[in-house]
Structure 1
Amino acid sequence: MALENTAPITIETTVNTPVEKAWEFWNNPVHIKNWAFASPEWHVPHAENDLRKGGKFSTTMAAKDGSMSFDFGGIYTSVDMYKLIEYVLGDGRKVKIVFEADADSTKITETFDPESVNPIEMQKGGWQAILHNFKKYTETN
């Protein structure tokens, strides 16, 4: 499936928590392990994060039954604390995450280049499910 010249995909959510907590839960590997997966059948057994321009991150997403796993990682190209994170994935795709603070809530908008294997709607749904897990985890912890 060729997806050349496909526009970036954007997803978003508003988390009912101050931006400082949202930022901490988004970037701390202790928290990443609790939300960075799309469904309850998956988990994150390993996460590393060096949040700075030029820093690297790596998250291992795995099926709980051991049937499959993959590493999701890249290099940060821009970090503006409590506002913006940009990175390039290992395959060259770009991702931009914007944090917008508003009193006791934080709007998170994530824009990413699609990959060329899975349908656009599947990619959007998967990333949105992970963002939903982030919202649920952050609001209940």
Structure 2
Amino acid sequence: MNNQNDAKNRTVTIERVFNVPISLVWEAWTQPEHIAVWWSPKGMETKVIEHDFRVGGNWKYTMEMPDGNEFIADGVYSVILKFKEIRSSANFKPMTEGVEIQALFEENGDKTNFTFNIIHATEEYRIQQEKMGILNGWGSVFERLEEHLKVTSN
């Protein structure tokens, strides 16, 4: 098996089309005041603890669960290409650790094609994460992002 197939087998991909210009989607991903609004599944609140948006910069967010426990998300940015791509290491403690996340943006007129990849260390880990509901969790996050973008664009 070659590395490209191996990476594909370790990756969960979510695709969306947002009905707003790429500049708004980019802003929502890169500005802490926006991230605090949408970066968690429905019913959870996000606090931006650290947001050093540069290659090599750290980010750390906490999400308060309805039961009062905190869920911690953190990572280090490795690639930032304006209006194109954001890559980062990512840990979502206590559920997911040691993944890479990729947010890919493509201008489509006044819309934005968006692809989100979560790359796991192994195919087995990806399968385990899918069984735990990773698609539902991120799906809820991106529904909140879509709602935030609608409000922001008005």
1:60-106: CA deviations, max 9, x gaps? 1112x452112101001111001001111243211111001111111
Whose RCO is larger (CA < 8 A, sep 6+)? 1
1:31-46 correspondence to structure 2 within 5 Å: 31-39=34-42, 41-46=43-48
Contact conserved, 1:26 with 1:134, CA < 8 A, in 2? Answer: no
- The residue aligned with 1:86 is 87
1:62-141 correspondence to structure 2 within 5 Å: 62-63=64-65, 65=66, 67-90=68-91, 91-114=97-120, 116=125, 119-121=129-131, 122-141=133-152
RMSD, aligned α-carbons: 2.1
The 4+ residue runs of structure 1 with deviation greater than 3 A are: 114-119
Identity of aligned residues (%): 24
Runs (5+) with no aligned partner, structure 1: none
Contact conserved, 2:98 with 2:120, CA < 8 A, in 1? Answer: no
Contact conserved, 1:32 with 1:47, CA < 8 A, in 2? Answer: no
Higher share of residues assigned helix: 2
Tell me the amino acid that sits aligned with residue 75 of structure 2: G
TM-score normalised by structure 2 residue count: 0.78
Residue 26 (structure 2) pairs with residue 15 (structure 1): no
- Residue 113 of structure 1 deviates from its aligned partner by 2.5
Q: How many residues align?
A: 135
TM-score normalised by structure 1 residue count: 0.85
1:46, 1:66 → 2: CA distance? 20
